[in-house]
Every structure is written in C-alpha cells, then in structure tokens.
A and B are shown apart, each in its own frame.
Chain A
C-alpha cells in the first residue's frame, strides 16, 4: 500500500515558486504571498440565535462580529463577514481553534473547520489594484474599498473572500484572498498571468498580515 501522510500541505505546494515572475527589468509592481498554517473557522448563527451569538462573540473576542461586508481585527483573530448571520474567524498559533470556539459558541452557532480547506493569498504592490481589476468586478478604489472592507465575491468564476488588511509599511494597500483549496492552484495561475506584465515578487509567509 502506498504511504499516506496525514500532514496537511498547502494546495499551492506545487504551483508556488518563490522569487521573481514575469517582467524582470522593472521594480516588481505586484507582491504575491501565500500565508500558510492558519486556523480558520466558519461560524453560522442558528435559527433565532443571532443575539445570543453576538453576545458570545463579544465575550470571546471583546468585539462584535461585522454584520456588514467588513473584516475586523480582535487581539488575536480577524473576524471576516461572509454572509448574513455568518463570519469567518482567522487566527494563528492555535488560539482560536475548532475545539476552543465550539465551546464558546455551542449554544448559538454551527461551526465548521476550514483551516485546511482554503488557501490564503495576500496581494499588494503599486500595481495590485490594476492587476485585481482584470479579475474582479469589485471597485477596489480606496474611496469604495477602505481598510477593513470585505466582499464575498467571485474571481474567474471561483468564490473568494476578499478583504483589505492594514497597509504595508510603505503605504501600499494589501488585499487578502481566501479561496477553496481545490481552486487555489487555478486562481494562482490566473493571478500570475494577470500580474506578469507588472513583474511579480512571489513569497511564502507564516505570518498573518
């Protein structure tokens, strides 16, 4: 029998090659970073339990989950709106795992562990908005899509959760994308194609932005 490994591996393991991609004679206009090893829990309020979930969320995170398309940062997690009465909890280091959150939300919500079901890609750089404009119909101008704005949308017919994180040190906007694991490689190649003309700096990270 073939050896089988239960170790989780990134869906971009084969597609991602750290380094330069596309146009080389210019300063890279796009930075594409895959962030690995995160905890991601989908939280959905049960029927009639929205108020109870709101209380449990405040008790757990010290803040309310967004009820509009936004992402908000608690001390050790980001709460990302994903639809009416539901949100994603993104964290690192085992602080907000399924075991922990299922205790906190046992009375009010249904939970589903998405940690190994999504890939997390961060897009930034001077040409990030120009590149994403080829792929997404969301208006990402800072007036329409400020820091913490979020959207559940489709890119290249693939569902994604898109949100704007804090700006980079150099002031450039950062767009974060969660995509289903099995669609990640396809979306990755689509983004590389869209980004190639601007020059791409491909990286791996273990840190949430």
Chain B
C-alpha cells in the first residue's frame, strides 16, 4: 500500500502511522455519559469506505485524513487533517 502525501508525494506505507477512525467528534462538555462512552469506545467496523487519520511520521510529520476502502484498500482521498497548515489560516 502506498499513500500520496499532499505535501511529500507518493510514499511507502512504512513511513506512515495509523491513528484511527476520523469520524468521531468530541462531544460537548455537558454531553451525557452515553455520548462520551460512544465517543471514547464505540467504533463502526465498516466494510467499505472509511475515514481515517494517518501520521506521516517518517516524512513531513503532517497529520492526514484519508478515505480508504476496507474491502479493496483503495484510497480515494488524502487531505491534511484539521490544524495542518494552520500557519496559513487566520490567527
């Protein structure tokens, strides 16, 4: 498997580290225990397209958000994760 880093270009899998599901969104501070439990522990086991966080540890050290098909390993999109390139957005 290879990943096309938006900053470095196409690189071998060994340069990247998998973080996990990019879907869960941190619940509000006053969220119920069930919502927090869901956020921390529960993950969908998707057969098909998933959204994942990867880290280009052996390269530019940027966090990436990747859309990958768990059936075929086809990667249909790679984009910088939230916060990467923050120097270019407003303070």
Q: Which residues of A contact B (CB under 8 A)?
A: 44-51, 53, 69, 82-85, 137, 151-154, 157, 159
Contact = CB atoms under 8 A, between A and B. Distances in A.
Minimum-distance CB pairs A-B, first 4:
A48-B91, A154-B58, A45-B87, A83-B60
B1 interface: no
Contacts of B9: 69
B19 interface: no
Main secondary structure of the interface of B (DSSP, over half): loop
Contacts of B8: 69, 151-153
9 contacts: A48-B87, A49-B91, A53-B87, A69-B8, A83-B60, A152-B8, A153-B59, A157-B14, A157-B58
Nearest to A46: B87
A137 B53 CA distance: 23
Given A154-B58, A159-B58, A84 B80 contact: yes
Contacts of B58: 153-154, 157, 159
Nearest to A82: B60
Interface in B53-67: 57-62
Nearest to A85: B87
Given A48-B91, A84-B7, A84-B80, 14 more contacts: A44-B87, A47-B91, A48-B86, A48-B87, A50-B87, A51-B88, A53-B87, A83-B62, A84-B87, A137-B11, A152-B60, A153-B15, A154-B15, A157-B58
Given A153-B8, A157-B14, A85 B59 contact: no
Contact of B90 (A46, A48, A157): A48
Contact-size category for B? 20 to 34
A64 to B, nearest CB: 14
Interface in B10-42: 11-12, 14-15
A50 B80 CA distance: 16
A71 B84 CA distance: 21
Contact of A84 (B14, B62, B90): B62
Nearest to B15: A154
A140 B72 CA distance: 30
A27 to B, nearest CB: 33
A47 B59 contact: no
A82 B15 CA distance: 15
Given A69-B7, A69-B9, A154 B87 contact: no
Contacts of B62: 83-84
